[in-house]
Each structure stands twice: as C-alpha cells, then as structure tokens.
Structure 1
Amino acid sequence: MLLSRYSDNSVRLLMHLTLQADQNVTVGQAAKHGGMSRNHLMKISQQLAQLGYIKTARGKGGGMRLAKDPASIRLGDLICQTESTLAIIRCDRIGCPVSGNCIFKKCLTEARDRFVETLNGYTLADVTANSGQLGNLLKLVPQSAESP
C-alpha cells in the first residue's frame, strides 16, 4: 500500500511537533526543517487542528503544538483520517464481472485491515523515540535561536 504525500507529511509534521513539544512551531519552520511544501503544510495543519491533534495560535509567538500526548496518537487511526481512501482495488470502476462474488477483493480488504491494525500497534511516541537523532537530522534548534 502506498500512502499519499499528504499522510506522510501529516505524520512528519506531528513528529516534528513532538520533538519540539516545549515550543510553538510555525508552518514555515516545519516546512524548512522537514523539507516539505509550506502551502501543503498549511492545509495539513488546518486538518490536524480540526481533528484535535494540534493546537494553533496566531500572532507573535504563535504557531502549532501538539494537543495530545504522543503516546495516545495511534498511527493507524491517523492514517485512516488523512488518507482520502484506503481502498486497495476499485471493482466498481473497472466493471469486473465477478465483483459480486470475488474472493480476491476479500483478501485485499483483509490485508488492508491488518495494515491499519499493525500501524495501530505504534504511536507517535514510538516513532519519535530516537528524538536525539531525529532532532540532529532535522537541524532543530531552540526557537529563540532561529531567525524568523
């Protein structure tokens, strides 16, 4: 299964916010350090705020920060909310003559469900456990040391 760039960047943004939990992070900072599109991150941050994953504040000293404990954010749940569809095959679009009685589709659906179940065995805290290495790779520094 191939995840969309949107879901990938959603996870990466939440990882960044986890690593900088003691401060607000602007979309520009997250885009710069994560190598992501600022415009794309604007859309992602709006959805993640609506879903309750992050809090946002405008103005001087504003930005984003996590709204939940990273240990409570299950990756499978997050992916289900950020992917437009998790369908592996679209039988209705290809006009398959066996679509009403297809065991292959059942196999693919089960595989998708296990994929999500496996991801739900991991949390945002799990994928940021190597925070020192991630922080170095992203060149994260205290916000006060960065220029705007």
Structure 2
Amino acid sequence: MRLLRSTDLALRVLMRLAVAGGSTPTTRDVAADMQVPYTHLAKVVAELQHMGLLDARRGRGGGLSLTEQGRTASVGAVARAFEGTGDVVDCEGGPTPCPLNSACRLRGALRRAQEAFFASLDPLTVADVSAEPTGPLLLEIARMT
C-alpha cells in the first residue's frame, strides 16, 4: 500500500517533534530539515494542530511542539486520519465505471487488506517510532541542515 505524501509528512513531523527536547522549531525549520516545500508542510502542521497532536505558536518565541496526545498518538490513527476512509480503488469514478461493480469481490478484499494495514500500525505510538535508533538520527539530520 502506498501512503499519501501528507501522511508521510505528518508522521515525520510528529517523529521530529518527539525528539526536539525543549526546542520549538518553526514550520520553516522543520520543512528545511525534511527538505520539503514549506507550503506542503504548513498544511500538514495545520491539520496536526487541529487534531490536537501539536501546538503551533506564532511570533517571537513561537514554534512547534508536540502535545502529550501527540506523543501517545497511534501511528495507525494518524495514518487513517490523513488517508481518509475511501476505497483503495475507485470503482465508480471516471467516465466509465467498472463493469464488475455490482458483483465485485475484489473491492471488499482490498478494503479488508487496507484495514489490516492500519490495524498493524495501531499499537505503535509516535514515541515508539521515535525511540532509538531513530531519535538520535532525527536529531543529527536536524543539526546538518
């Protein structure tokens, strides 16, 4: 299964903030660290803030920080939130819908596979995936930029 770019960015932002310690990097700092466009990351940060997973403060002394809810957030729940609840394949979209639509068994199998994928991520928290050896590497990447 392939994740949306926004899902990937959301998980990496949360992981980066999980190892930030007392620092509060700005969205621009994190975008530079991750080598992604600021505009893309700003949208992801806004959604993560709306979900209550991070705090974003503007102005002098501002920046991003992970909330306790963000630290204990399930990776599966974050992925579900960003991926949405749509089907893996679009059977009804486009100018010519799939002729198997009324009797297709594949769509249900793909939906179950998608849920199994998310379910395998549910037990993992942001803190889990940010622990060693990942955490120190994330900090090293931040120092290099």
TM bin (shorter chain)? 0.7 to 0.9
1:75·1:124 contact (CA, 8 Å) conserved in 2?
A: yes
Matched, 1:3 2:7: no
1:80·1:86 contact (CA, 8 Å) conserved in 2?
A: no
Superposed CA deviations along residues 54-112 of structure 1, whole A, max 9, x for unmatched, are 11111111011011255521111101111245521111125223322221111111100
2:92·2:98 contact (CA, 8 Å) conserved in 1?
A: yes
Q: Which residue of 1 aligns with 2:138?
A: 134
Q: Which residue of 2 aligns with 1:38?
A: 38
Q: SS state of the match for residue 124, structure 2?
A: coil
Superposed CA deviations along residues 27-55 of structure 1, whole A, max 9, x for unmatched, are 11101111121111111111111111111
**Which 5+ residue runs of structure 2 have no aligned equivalent?**
none
User: Aligned partners of 2:50 and 2:69: how far apart in 1?
Assistant: 17
Structure 1 segments, 4+ long, off by >6 Å, are none
Q: Which residue of 1 aligns with 2:122?
A: 120
Report the AA paired with residue 87 of structure 1: D
- CA-atom RMSD, angstroms? 1.9
Superposed CA deviations along residues 13-38 of structure 1, whole A, max 9, x for unmatched, are 11111110312110111011111211
User: TM-score, with normalisation over the residues of structure 1?
Assistant: 0.85
2:53·2:71 contact (CA, 8 Å) conserved in 1?
A: no
Q: Which residue of 2 aligns with 1:145?
A: none
User: Aligned partners of 1:91 and 1:42: how far apart in 2?
Assistant: 32
User: Aligned partners of 2:35 and 2:10: how far apart in 1?
Assistant: 13
User: TM-score, with normalisation over the residues of structure 2?
Assistant: 0.87
What does 1:49-64 align with in structure 2 at a 5 Å threshold? Answer: 49-64=49-64
Report the AA paired with residue 116 of structure 2: R
Distance of aligned partners of 1:138 and 1:121 in 2 relative to their CA distance in 1, 3 Å threshold: same
Q: Provide the aligned length of Structure 1 versus Structure 2.
A: 141
